[in-house]
Structure 1
Amino acid sequence: MKIRIFILCIAVIVAVNIGAILYFNSNDSENHNQTIINLEKEKFRLENENSQLDTLIIKRLKITDSLQNEIYQNQHIIQNLNYEIKEKINTINRMSDLELYLYFSNIRTDQKDHRE
């Protein structure tokens, strides 16, 4: 009799374990499927965001290139202006006092009377 009770207890324990495994496994499977669906939605959203960011990067690179070009042109203009200033300074430095006096005395101003 004790052996029958022992075998019956083992059978009940095995049945309970199998039932629990089936119950929790089906629940985990549904959660797992829902997790996969959510992750796929998130992946799609991130891919869209990534493509938008790629487009933005391309636009910014074009702007950067145009600004770099403008900077180069402005630096070239500044170099030319510096060269012209140095040349003018050298020209003035080479002038004698009399030449400077004559140069600046020939400057004409408006002859109108502004005291009105």
Structure 2
Amino acid sequence: MGQREQIVHDEPEPCPYIEGKTARLPLRWQFRRLSPGDFDQSLSQGDRRVGRMLYRTACGACQACEPIRIPVSTFLSSRSQKRVIKKNRDVTVASGPSTFTAEKLALYNRHKHL
């Protein structure tokens, strides 16, 4: 059936959540789009998503940051969130198919080391 994912980054780096800590956030590129059920299962097991990549904190003894899930069906926007939405009504989002190339990986890796 072939490989489902590839680790594209797995190096210690400054923690994006807790100042002064070191984190390890292995990024895994998904070769195939996950089914809604598989994606939901990944999130329920602690994965987080960045575009087409999944990651899960792997920081050894540190368990300070925990992923949370917000039940969309019962979510209510706060007043400040409503203001932000209203202020940014002119913002549009466009997306296309994701592709993985060695050139894009090299660019991403350079970005990670800035």
TM (norm. structure 2) is 0.15
Greater helix share, structure number: 1
Greater strand share, structure number: 2
Which structure has the greater CA radius of gyration? 1
Which fold has the larger relative contact order, with Cα–Cα distance below 8 Å and residues 6 or more apart in sequence?
A: 2
